[in-house]
């Protein structure tokens, strides 16, 4: 099978919309969480989120085209174009567009568009609903628009697996290149659910933090005082290439993707099962052909929910045995918020940057570590460390689990 490498990365997040700004803020332990500004949240139990501020889609596509994109699609397109620029990859000159695919998913899709058009339906009637309502809302339009904007004509698909979406998209793309279905894949996730109905729905689940007076302290994975996740928005997109294709064009390589695991909990709509998560990690390790103790770093799903963090800690112990206490684990959601379907994309970017820079981003706000969460979570400050192999975990509602593994590239 073909070797697969990461040659480009792009992000749109509350911590930055370019890699340098994003990585600098992340490794300095900055929180991207603040009071929600997009709509009136005075009656909401949760009034905080990690919003993307000052985003201008006009910097990427023309205004007419942008009006036909939901906000999550705009984030996806921006992330993809940033990643292609970072990879220095011109699809018309450097490769055959029919060998370039797209797999950028979304856990929920066009919630902004759905809300707006439902309001119009109620206020003005069915004849006033936009003809673009459906094509703007459906989750596959992230991949669809990226292919149209870039000219990519290879495999085009969309994963919709809640918070595992971004990681499934990257893992599936890894396998497509391994099989020889494509030479290049544009892959990751995008999400934009900081909307009235989106926030209300998660508030109704009692899944989000209500630490409204201290937004920057609200996301605190593995801490005794954690009280729920903080919603984020944005995108994380990677450019994967076959090693042969990357070397032919002299590409810079961040890391090599070596393993992918998937599993289903068959357990509960929202609560995780540590057995399912452990099986997912074990499958990825087996796929990578490595031993568990070769992994130096795990970017945890780590959402800051009371049940989820405990469950993931248990799963890591099941998958790694004694090595669980020796591997560095951090949850960068403590700073980015939880980007739902985009989380796996952003966190894969973080793993790539961790390997390339020999620097592990911290878990911030970890003041009183939960005794049941007793691993090394790199508390509060970034850590210089050589990371040869990194793992990224994503676990979604419905029991969808995904894990990818990448390593330092060696020719």
Domains and CATH numbers, the chain: 1-399 (3.40.47.10)
> Could you tell me the pLDDT band of residue 93, with boundaries at 50, 70 and 90?
confident
Place of tokens 């934009």: 192
Q: What is the pTM of this model?
A: 0.97
- Check pLDDT > 90 for residue 92: no
- Check pLDDT > 90 for residue 214: yes
Polymer length of the chain: 411
- Check pLDDT > 90 for residue 274: no
Find all residues with CB under 8 Å of 201, minimum gap 6, and list them.
Answer: none
- What's the mean pLDDT in 282-297? 98
In degrees and rounded to multiples of 5, residue 330 shows phi and psi of -140, 155
The Cα 264–Cα 168 span in angstroms is 12
| Nearest CA among 251, 256, 235 for reference residue 356 | 256
| Nearest CA among 217, 214, 94 for reference residue 151 | 94
CB atoms within 10 A of CB 391: 27
Q: Give the pLDDT score at 265.
A: 86
CB atoms within 10 A of CB 160: 19
The catalytic position among 163, 187, 280, 373 is: 163
> Could you tell me the pLDDT band of residue 270, with boundaries at 50, 70 and 90?
confident
Q: Is 163 a catalytic residue?
A: yes
Q: Is 327 helix (H, G, I), strand (E, B) or coil?
A: coil
CB atoms within 10 A of CB 221: 29
Higher per-residue pLDDT: 411 or 164: 164
pLDDT single digits (tens) 380-391:
999 999 999 999
60-64, 258-262, 313-317, 370-374: lowest mean pLDDT where? 60-64
DSSP element (H, E) containing 176: helix 165-179
> Could you tell me the pLDDT band of residue 14, with boundaries at 50, 70 and 90?
very high
- Check pLDDT > 90 for residue 94: no
Q: Rounded to a whole number, what is the distance in angstroms from the first to the last CA of the chain?
A: 16
115 burial type by CB count under 10 A (0-12 exposed, 13-18 middle, 19+ buried): middle
Q: Give the pLDDT score at 273.
A: 85
308 and 397 Cβ atoms separated by less than 8 Å: no
- Check pLDDT > 90 for residue 144: yes
Q: Give the pLDDT score at 272.
A: 78
The Cα 231–Cα 333 span in angstroms is 9
233 and 191 Cβ atoms separated by less than 8 Å: yes
């Amino acid at each position: 099978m073909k070797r697969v490498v990461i040659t480009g990365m792009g992000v749109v997040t509350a911590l930055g919309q370019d890699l340098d700004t994003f990585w600098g803020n992340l490794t300095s332990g900055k929180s991207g969480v603040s009071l929600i500004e997009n709509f009136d949240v005075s009656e909401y139990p949760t009034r905080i989120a990690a919003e993307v501020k000052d985003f201008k889609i006009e910097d990427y596509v023309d205004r007419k085209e942008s009006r036909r994109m939901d906000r999550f699609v705009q984030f996806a397109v921006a992330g993809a174009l940033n990643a292609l620029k970072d990879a220095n990859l011109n699809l018309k000159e450097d490769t055959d567009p029919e060998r370039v695919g797209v797999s950028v998913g979304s856990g929920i899709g066009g919630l902004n568009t759905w809300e707006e058009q439902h309001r119009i339906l109620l206020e003005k009637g069915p004849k006033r609903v936009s003809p673009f309502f459906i094509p703007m809302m459906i989750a596959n339009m992230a991949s669809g628009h990226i292919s149209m904007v870039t000219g990519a004509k290879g495999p085009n698909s969309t994963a919709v697996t809640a918070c595992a979406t971004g990681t499934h998209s990257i893992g599936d793309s890894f396998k497509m290149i391994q099989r020889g279905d494509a030479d290049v894949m544009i892959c990751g996730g995008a999400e934009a659910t900081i909307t009235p109905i989106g926030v209300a729905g998660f508030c109704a689940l009692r899944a989000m933090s209500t630490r409204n007076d201290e937004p920057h302290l609200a996301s605190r994975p593995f801490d005794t005082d954690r009280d729920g996740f903080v919603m984020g928005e944005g995108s994380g997109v990677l450019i994967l290439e076959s090693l042969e294709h990357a070397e032919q064009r002299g590409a810079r390589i961040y890391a090599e993707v070596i393993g992918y695991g998937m599993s289903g909990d068959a357990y509960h709509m929202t609560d995780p099962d540590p057995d399912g998560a452990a099986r997912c990690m074990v499958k990825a390790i087996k796929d990578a052909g490595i031993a568990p103790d070769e992994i130096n770093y795990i970017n945890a799903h780590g959402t800051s929910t009371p049940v989820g963090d405990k469950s993931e800690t248990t799963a890591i112990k099941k998958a790694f045995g004694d090595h669980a206490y020796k591997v560095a684990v951090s949850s960068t959601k403590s700073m980015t918020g939880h980007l739902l379907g985009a989380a796996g994309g952003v966190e894969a970017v973080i793993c790539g940057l961790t390997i390339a820079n020999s620097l592990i981003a911290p878990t911030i706000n970890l003041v009183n570590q939960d005794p049941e969460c007793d691993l090394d979570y790199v508390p509060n400050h970034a850590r210089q460390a050589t990371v040869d192999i990194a793992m990224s975990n994503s676990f979604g509602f419905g029991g969808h689990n995904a894990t990818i593994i990448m390593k330092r590239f060696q020719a």
